Structure 1
Amino acid sequence: MPAAPAMSSLLDTVATERHRLRGEEVSARFLGTVSSGIAAWEAAVTAFDAGGEAAQALPAVAEAFAMADDTAAVARAAEDVIRMGVAKPLDVLVVGLAQVNRELVRENRRPVAMVRKAAAMERRATSRWRGAEGRKGLLVNRDLQLEEARLAVRDVLSDAREVAALLRRWRSQPVP
């Protein structure tokens, strides 16, 4: 399931408890994580368009939507509370945001794998044992791999932007 429908479902679930969720900080941190992931991919795609190397972009995009350790600890604690059956609306929100985050990370795996493959092609193209034709062929294949990655990134970014827009809209609504 894409992350945007999961986010919409979560926000519908906690809509009646909005007054209790006033001032919570978890959704702001989650929004920051999604926004930084979007920014990392946009910077990587811009670098690819300018002729940048995949190996340089790989560290930033590999962890693009990774949840911070403190937020992950809060999510684990909320999952435990829900499992015990004494959940508050904030716990439901935290667990839902963690699930949406997992979906984004899952969607992110495909383009990251493509960028890793392109980075491996770049490394092999620098081998001194390859002839000029072999290097050119590898670099052409790398460019094709990066083009496929761009297409996959477009889908991930579309979903991530929709998640961010839903959450921003929900956070900006007045509390009844």
Structure 2
Amino acid sequence: MVSATRLRLSTAVLLAGASIGTYVALSAPTASAGPGHAAGQAQSAKAGGPSVKRFDLNGYVIDTDYSLGRNTGNTFRQTYRHRTVQGVPIKGPFVGTKFPREDYVAMPIGNHELYVAWLDPKKHALVDVFVMNFATGVVFDYAPGSAHPESSGTVTVERKGSQPLP
């Protein structure tokens, strides 16, 4: 009887140890923040996951036409170079307004989607922020500096740049 109890106890301890060992072996690679972590992020970005890769809009000319929010009734033409953008009102109440050339950062955030931030080249402060979905043609715009800085409307590519949109 004593040997049967010892056998059961030994079996239970071995199974528990094997279970813990298997759990640690399977979860350790995903919990690691070592050198393999960056490789995992790169793999995720290739598979359509999160990324912080920049996108160069050089050569693109993009029109944003607003039907909601602060910019309602305005259409802006955005002309992109490697690191700078020039926005010009081409339709609506803001026609004739001169805006300075700004720096920009663009990042792909999904299929056919870009997050674009315009920055003051001297202060590095946000001037304008866009989320552009080129599959649906929808743009969301946040322009700091007023009580209601949000706008939304349509986005169209008037001229393609040197690389295809994500």
Is the TM value for this pair above 0.5? no
More strand per residue: 2
Structure 1 length-normalised TM: 0.21
Which structure has the bigger radius of gyration? 2
More helix per residue: 1
Structure 2 length-normalised TM: 0.22
Say which structure, 1 or 2, has more relative contact order (CA 8 Å, 6+ apart): 1
